[in-house]
Structure 1
Amino acid sequence: MNRERILDAAQHLVIENGFAATSLDQILTQVGTSKGAFFHHFDSKLALGRALTERYVAADVGQLRWALEETAGVEDPAERVSAFIRCFEDSAEEVMSEQSNCLYIAVLTEQQLVSNGTADLITQAIEAWRTEIAALLDAAAESRGLDLGDTSALADHVFVTFEGAFLLCRSTGRPDHMRTQLGVLRRMLEAMLGSPASG
């Protein structure tokens, strides 16, 4: 349990302040534990960074799997694409209440975490999103007799919309941008696929 509490506190601090600017003492103070307890679970701050990233990636890919399962019963492939985005649009406020930014940005700006392979975990998550969303888009295009071009690039655009929306929310102080941008993305995809507009 202590390990999860350390990870919870570290994730919040790293997202808010960056990895380098978050000291071990800050994390320990927030958790109310000792250095001995920390080193019982983590060999170093870099090991903590990797554990944070592993956990965040697992949760991120878990959200992807959740939306795929939620929309598995939608028979029309084009409508499923819309429903898939709608899953995240409808939960945007919850996402933004839990965090104001994405851990990926904090990790990718730290050379130590990039060079020790921690950032490779993020690439794996991106590839998981790309593969699954491209498959949804391919099925939708086939069902409509459309040529969407490079559906992998379009799938990446879905991922980029999330990351860009985090940046927009953070820079403006307005968490509602996440829902707004996901709504724009959904309507754009609906227009491309000729699926019924859902509001």
Structure 2
Amino acid sequence: MPRDGSATKQRILDAAERLVIENGFAATSVDQVIAESGSSKGAFFHHFGSKLDLARELVDRYAAAELADLEKAVAQVQAATEDPVERVIAFIRIFEDGADQLMAAQSNCLFVSILTERQLAQSGTSDRIAENILAWRTVLSGMLRDALGSRAPAPAIDTDALADHLFVTFEGAFILCRSMTDARHMGAQLGVLRQLIEQLLRM
């Protein structure tokens, strides 16, 4: 079987993601990534031209996984109900119910680690994050417009801003969990967001 090095590259990316999430990008050295991944300097630079290239690939991979979660959640709620209000509530509940599993897998969000680095923002690395945020906003904002439009008269609400609250809640909850050393805050914050939106849509 031919060996194209893809397994080594994934191992390096996995190790780098763990380290960057835990320690930040600036505090994570190439040597640490190499040691954590059990690879070599030659293998690292075979797959990544620089540490900046590594950051770009980390963001691309993380964003792709986030979009896959988005598509999966949308498909799940569309299959479950045709009621636009119930779809919004069910959509947020998916992430609320999965909060403990998420926090067991990671203690922070890679996006936070990347966005706090001015060097990465200036290099355009954060552009992929903005695209990801816009994708989530577009989907949830559309669902919210459908839900609010089912009421007469429809409330005058900025659905884009309200949709962004899901991203804000996720990132803020990561910080809260880490600050308070209590991973339960993620589920609690998503639950509060779901309750508030539920009250708004059912007024």
Partner of 2:63: 57
The residue type equivalent to 2:158 in the other structure is: D
Tell me how large the CA RMSD over aligned residues is: 1.0
The residue type equivalent to 1:88 in the other structure is: F
> Any idea what SS the aligned residue of 1:118 has?
coil
Partner of 1:36: 42
Partner of 1:134: 141
| 1:9 equivalent in alignment to 2:15 | yes
> Any idea what SS the aligned residue of 2:150 has?
helix
Match of residue 128, structure 2, among 86, 105, 121: 121
State TM-score, norm by structure 2: 0.94
1:2-52 per-residue CA deviation (whole Å, 9 max, x = no partner) reads 001000000000011010100111111111111000011000000000000
Partner of 1:165: 173
Partner of 2:98: 91
CA distance in 1, matches of 2:30, 2:180: 29
CA distance in 2, matches of 1:83, 1:77: 10
**Distance 1:176-1:149 versus aligned 2 partners, 3 A rule:** same
Equivalent pairs: percent with the same residue?
Answer: 55
CA distance in 2, matches of 1:93, 1:4: 25
State TM-score, norm by structure 1: 0.95
Match of residue 69, structure 1, among 66, 72, 75: 75
The residue type equivalent to 1:159 in the other structure is: F
Aligned pair count?
Answer: 195
Runs of 4+ in 1 over 3 A off after TM superposition: none
Query: Unaligned regions of 5+ residues in structure 2, if any?
Result: 1-6
CA distance in 2, matches of 1:70, 1:168: 29
Partner of 2:3: none
CA distance in 2, matches of 1:158, 1:143: 22
Query: Unaligned regions of 5+ residues in structure 1, if any?
Result: none
1:42-75 per-residue CA deviation (whole Å, 9 max, x = no partner) reads 0000000000000011111111111101101211
1:164-183 mapped onto 2 (5 Å cutoff)? 164-183=172-191
> Any idea what SS the aligned residue of 1:101 has?
coil
